[in-house]
Amino acid sequence: MFASSAGMLNRHQKQVHALDGIDLDIYEQETLGIVGESGCGKTTLGRTIIGLIAPTSGQILFDGQDLVNASKDAKKSFNREIQMVFQNPYTSFDPRFTIIKCVSEPLKIHTNLRGAALTKRARELLEQVGMPGEILHRYAHEFSGGQLQRIAIARALALNPKIIVLDEPTSALDVSVQAQIINLLQDLQRQFKLTYLFISHDLSVVQHISNRVTVMYLGKIVEQNTSEAIFEGQAHHPYTQALLSAMPSVVKELRRKQIILEGSVPDAANPPKGCNFHPRCPVAMPICSIAEPVLDNSGAGHPVACFVVNPIEKSTDEMIQ
Amino acid sequence: MNAPLLAIEDLHVHFNTYAGTVRAVNGVSFEIRSGEMFGLVGESGCGKTVTGLAIMRAIPSPGRIMKGRIFFQGEDLITKSESEMRDIRGGRIAMIFQDPTASLNPVFTAGYQISLQITQHRHVSKKEAKQLAFDMFSEVGLPHAKSIYNTYPHELSGGMQQRVMIAMALASGAELLIADEPTTALDVTIQAQILALLSQLRESEGLTILLITHDLGVVAETCDRVAVTYDGHIVESGTVDDVLYQTKHPYTQGLLAALPDTVRHKQSLEVIKGSVPDGLHSVSGCSFHPRCPKVMDICLDQPPSLIIVGEKEHSASCYLYMEETA
Amino acid sequence: MTTVAPDLEIPIEDIKAGKRVTEYHLMWWAFRRDPLAVLSLVILLGFILGAIFAPNLTPYPEQGRGDPNLLEKFSPPNQGHLLGTDYLGRDVLTRILYGGRSSLAIGFLVVIVAVLIGVPLGAISGYYGGWIDNLVMRITDIFLAFPPLLLAIALASALGASFTNTMIAISFTWWPWYTRLVRAQTLSLRERYFIEAARSIGVPSWKIITSHVLPNVMTPVMVQATMDLGGAILVGAAVSFIGLGVQPPLADWGQMVSIGRIYFIERPWYAGSAGLAIFLVTLAFNLLGDAVRDAADPHTRRVVDVGR
């Protein structure tokens, strides 16, 4: 959650719940996929984890330590452990920086490497992502999107992080290049025992790379399950089902009966009452516009936030309280 | 079989930049039949958008159509005067783009813009134009046509803006709709809505659609026939079933294998090595040969021509299939 | 809209071969192709070098510094005095060369002071946002509300009319434009991922501003500064014209127009040549600014990235 404000003279300050009560665990060396459409809060989630946005309330625990309320020094050490790769490789690099300056920027902040040792490390990092070390003195505009994304990954690896937040790392790339980057990410994960938080709108990419998948809608988690289960018919939330059916695929077996949702994602500043999804939900019930469903294992054996899936009695009890 | 509504023959479009001549479109030929949904698919920089713009004769400077003919209902568009083209552009042929916000004027209401479009291309009164606009809005699934008529583009969501663009194309009586990545900027569930709308309009209005996209999944689910472009020319074309499931050209095969949903979970994906050529440096022979896993000696000398390799005019430009026919 | 031909002869091999091609190289390539830009540059260099080397260029350096030569009062242009002489018999061409010193110096100093104050404030305001941004913006509003001429009159009456006071008065009202320009640029830079990337690895804010923000706002600042040089010279001339700038016997173009206008009907060469000098320099700076802007616009010099 965070507040949107418009400066000193603004008359009304409005709370926008970009993220609303998110509970999430990420385990070591796994890839957790976060899927959702624009406005679902997936990017805000990534930025909050990496510390670019301070949450209004809540905790982020890393190895049991709280990131949000940590001291300045502790925050600096967390900076080393969690890195991010951004969506658009073309704006991920300062156009006035050479590649070596870009890649070594984190090293200069966090390590004592200088001079030849710094160059050596930068070269090594580039080679790890399949870029020749000779490019060190060139500028970002001389490279293609796929090459830049490799360099961005090299920069993220510079401090030997534990977690890398990947925010739509392939959405600006062509299919053949996307495949190269996904393969690279998987190789690096094995090699360096990395943990990924993979944020994407593209279900086919997420199902391919993730161990577990979290589906988000308008700032909330609606369903969470292992990747295989979700993509092999164990999708229970009507939104997950609609997302899956809307995903175009060349694989005939993957083509499901299309569920075409009406309307579009509502404004997060003005969410609907009750379940956020009910105005678009094909199976909405009267209760959905009154009460908010919570994530619950009881109906499907994995967390789903839906009255249709979970037994209503329990949820209505909560509503009455 | 229907007569082709649009036939492109050996189209060349070059851009003279200070880095040299970029051959954006380098010998593209295909036919679109009346009433079909035709997919033009390829990666960025393969010339698919420029081909779409060439049909509209709207190539941005410094680009120029160097060679080729574009027949629309039997008339060669290349030889048309600019004033004749103005009637065709936005009239009989309409184009919608990836970013509808850039195509709609932010200072006029949606209704004003569609009415203007109608009165420009049809001889109707203002009142009739307004009625026609209402009809078109409900035709494309925009609820409350009256209130949409009076809204400004920024008040509409991306999906609704794209619907307005489609309504404008229909309102001016377009027979061919060129849809250039119409759903790329949209969310998956909205993409499904727009694609369903296009399919439905094809059925109900007999609209012919040229769908330009990078997404093979979209092609698989919506198109009848498809042409795959690479480096400014067509490497494979035919029915969607033939091209995607009886694939002949190594590039198409590579593209399909690179899709994450065709491979089992967590396994590594097939990769086409290298990257798309920039159109500046002509590659000798077949322009795909530096990346091709099945490259042969002959591929380095001469560019292959598009030849029939299967049923229903399934064709590919690859030497792998030359001997069989020769 | 743009005048630069798109088919510039940038050697693509250089780019491919990994020769360092920076933004500035590309700008220079594009700039060179614009004949008006080159002409402006030549005119300006002429005036600037003329002002610097005035004592060596003219046979009457003492007249340039103000010594009268009453024997040759109001002589029309002739071989000895290409632009004639003024009311004290001084060579007008010499006075123009010497007057260029104060006029050009006003232009450059005003812009330099404005850039030095305005650019850092703009970057800070745009980067931090919030109350800092509000404070800086309200201050710029206050400064923008001062009419530069009135301020110059006020300062001159309080501290005396002089070159320094003119410069201070003009700079005083000029820097807020740079703050606004740089703030707007910074706001859009902030959205770019490389700034976020730097923040996410813990680069301190001051370092982000100095190493990422400032270098990236320099191109629009350069364009603005080039255009403003002409504007500042014009305002400086206006201040001198009303008698509050550089005081006689020192030469200044605005002052020359002011004195010369009394004799303008019979001896147009005096005020006319000073006016022409102001006109040429201002026009040249504006054309140069336009050319720099066009050269900085990637659309006029697409490299490989043509929309296809």
**Chain A residues touching C201 at Cβ < 8 A:** 79, 83, 105-106, 109-110, 159
Average pLDDT in chain B = 87
> What is the predicted pLDDT for the residue at A59?
82
Locate B3 and state its tokens.
Answer: 């007569």
The amino acid that residue A246 corresponds to is A
**Chain B residues touching A171 at Cβ < 8 A:** none
Per-residue b or e along B100-118, where b marks 16 or more CB atoms closer than 10 Å to that residue's CB: beebbeeeebbbebbbebb
> What is the predicted pLDDT for the residue at C7?
35
B169-189 pLDDT tens trace: 888 888 999 999 998 888 888
Taking the model in full, what pTM does it have?
0.84
Q: What are phi and psi of B157, to 5 degrees?
A: -75, 165
Percentage of chain B lying above the pLDDT 90 cut = 34
Option in C20, C131, C212 nearest A94 (CB): C212
Q: Cβ of A249 and B221 within 8 Å?
A: yes
- Contact B244/A at CB under 8 A: yes
A174 vs chain B: nearest CA distance in angstroms? 6
> What is the predicted pLDDT for the residue at C19?
54
Nearest to A214 by CA among A163, A222, A239, A50: A222
For range B117-142, the mean pLDDT? 87
At residue A249, the 3 state secondary structure works out as: coil
- DSSP secondary structure string for all residues of A163-212: EEEEESTTTTS-HHHHHHHHHHHHHHHHHHT-EEEEEES-HHHHHHH-SE
Q: Cβ of B24 and C308 within 8 Å?
A: yes
Locate B158 and state its tokens.
Answer: 């991306």
CA distance A226 to C293: 54
> What is the predicted pLDDT for the residue at A15?
61
- Contact B261/A at CB under 8 A: yes
pLDDT of B121 above 90: no
CA distances from C41 to B228, C30, C45, C276, C288 (A): 51, 14, 6, 17, 7
Per-residue b or e along A208-234, where b marks 16 or more CB atoms closer than 10 Å to that residue's CB: bbbbbbbbbbbbbbbbbbebbbbbeee
- Chains interfacing with C (3 or more CB pairs < 8 Å): A, B
> What is the predicted pLDDT for the residue at C138?
94
Per-residue b or e along B188-208, where b marks 16 or more CB atoms closer than 10 Å to that residue's CB: bbbbbbbbbbbbebbeeeebb
Nearest to C268 by CA among C94, C77, C89, C79: C77
Percentage of chain B lying above the pLDDT 70 cut = 96
| Residue B57, number of CB atoms within 10 A of its CB | 18
A144-184 pLDDT tens trace: 888 999 999 999 999 999 999 999 999 888 888 899 999 99
**Strands laid side by side in the A82-85 sheet:** A82-85, A163-167, A195-200, A31-35, A212-217, A220-226
C161 vs chain B: nearest CA distance in angstroms? 51
Q: What is the mean pLDDT of each run of 10 residues along chain C (308 residues)?
A: 32 50 70 84 92 83 76 76 78 86 90 94 93 94 84 80 83 90 93 90 91 91 91 88 81 86 82 90 91 74 39
Lowest mean pLDDT among A89-93, A133-137, B221-225, B247-251: A133-137
What B203-207 contacts at long range (C-beta under 8 Å, 24+ apart), as own/partner pairs, is B205/B139, B205/B170, B206/B34, B206/B35, B207/B35, B207/B170, B207/B174, B207/B175, B207/B176, B207/B177
ipTM for the assembly? 0.83
Q: Please return the burial class of C92, using the count of CB atoms within 10 Å of its CB with bins 0-12, 13-18 and 19+.
A: buried
CA distance B247 to A27: 41
**Chain C residues touching A152 at Cβ < 8 A:** 197
CA distances from C232 to A266, C39, C283 (A): 52, 21, 12
pLDDT of B202 above 60: yes
- Contact B238/A at CB under 8 A: no
